[in-house]
Amino acid sequence: MNSKIYAIMKKEILHIWRDPLSLIMALGMPMILIFLFGYAITLDIENVKITVCDHDKTKQSREYLNSFSSSGYFSILKVTDNDKELLRTLDDGSAKAGLIIPAGFGEGLSRNKTVQVQAMTDGSEANSTNVVMGYIRGISYLYSGNLTLEAMNKTGISKIKNVPGLAPGIKVFYNQEMKSRNFIIPGLIAVIMSVIMAILTSLTIVREKEKGTFEQLIVTPVKPHEVMIGKIIPYWVLGMLDMVLVVLVGTLVFRVPLNGDIILLFFMTGIFAFSGLGIGLLVSTLANTQQVANQVAMLVSFLPTFILSGFMFPVKSMPVFIQLITVFVPAKYFLVVLRGVFLKGSGLAILFWELIILTLFGVVLIVLTSVNFKKKLK
């Protein structure tokens, strides 16, 4: 290793070692983020509280309600015959959905008539509302289908052979249990790595300015790219250590399957880390105080990764001009790598273009930072 780079690297390691707060932030923040987001963010809807207004009170209405409670998705909060009481539970938030079974429900079904059931949901949370409505439709269709089979058995129609029909065989690949956690945790790794790398390195150059050691750095015979490389290496090592901790928590605590090659995962992570380091160093060369550098680094790393990378919202569902902006978000490509290796077991042949793009991002950002860094006081 170049002796100048080694000297800068050693100096930066001493800065980190003498600043326990930075070291705690580097190792503790990823754990806080993954536990906080891992438990807080979930797209799974379970145990939905539902209030039922049963105006029929017949065997058929009780069977219909039983199909909700036995589904595992709904928990019946209250059964009443007062519509206003149902609406009150929706207003105060104690129930997420309401179901009104009209009088004559059982009699209408006995006569093979279509009966209208009123379902209501709290639409203040649009995503969960769509899921809940889908559950209600599915349970109602299944109940209706069972009634149709019973009617066919009574008339003998079901005994006829070779009745045409469609029986779809559905097989889910990569996330057979359909757990949102398996989808979210790999994405969290991209968020954590982006934020940690950018925030830590955003303080390097500006710290020199605030402590008055920047003058010493200027008078040394060190080239800008040597300064950049020497300052990057310690934080790159810290980032890879964070990756080890996050992967261990993701696989052992949250039980996310790791189906791919772990060596490929860490290799691609090491490439991606240079993008976050480059962003942080670029911010550090432009900022004049650590407070400003910290805030800007958080802004340019967290928001694009969280919103524009596809972590929470599919990129293809965004407007075209927003999709064009996402092209310049490195985490978008790293997210493909993470979910590919974790869930699909993808290899380098499939992730080759992501490797090329992430490498270009890292090189461009480091070069841009080196060019922007001026060996003179501003």
At 72-82, the pLDDT tens digits run 788 888 888 88
- Mean pLDDT, range 170-199, rounded to an integer: 79
Q: Residue 377: pLDDT above 60?
A: no
The single-letter code of the amino acid at 204 is: T
Q: Residue 43: pLDDT above 70?
A: no
pLDDT of residue 359: 92
CB count within 10 Å of CB 157 equals 12
301 and 346, same structural domain? Answer: yes
- Mean pLDDT, range 276-288, rounded to an integer: 81
For 146, phi and psi rounded to 5 degrees? -65, -40
Q: What percent of the chain has pLDDT over 90?
A: 8
The more confidently predicted of residues 297 and 333 is: 333
Tens-digit pLDDT profile for residues 199-214: 878 777 777 676 766 6
Lowest mean pLDDT among 28-32, 154-158, 181-185, 220-224: 154-158
Q: Residue 351: pLDDT above 80?
A: yes
- What are the strands, taking DSSP E only, across the chain? 48-54, 74-80, 97-101, 118-121
Indicate the residue among 127, 157, 187 that finishes a domain: 157
52 and 35, same structural domain? Answer: no
36 and 52, same structural domain? Answer: no
- Domain harbouring 129, CATH code: 3.40.1710.10
Q: Residue 164: pLDDT above 70?
A: no
Q: Rounded to an integer, what distance in angstroms lies between the CA atom of residue 205 and that of residue 289? A: 10
Q: Fill in the DSSP letter of residue 74.
A: E
First CA to last CA distance, the chain: 30
Total domain count, the chain? 2
Q: Is residue 114 part of a domain?
A: yes
Q: Is residue 132 part of a domain?
A: yes
213 and 151, same structural domain? Answer: no
Tens-digit pLDDT profile for residues 252-274: 988 888 888 999 999 999 999 88
33 and 84, same structural domain? Answer: no
CB count within 10 Å of CB 26 equals 21
pLDDT of residue 156: 59
| Per-residue pLDDT band at 299 (split at 50, 70, 90) | confident
Q: Is residue 173 part of a domain?
A: no
> Which H or E element spans position 187?
helix 180-201
- Mean pLDDT, range 5-19, rounded to an integer: 75
The single-letter code of the amino acid at 336 is: V
* Mean pLDDT for the chain overall: 80
The more confidently predicted of residues 170 and 111 is: 111
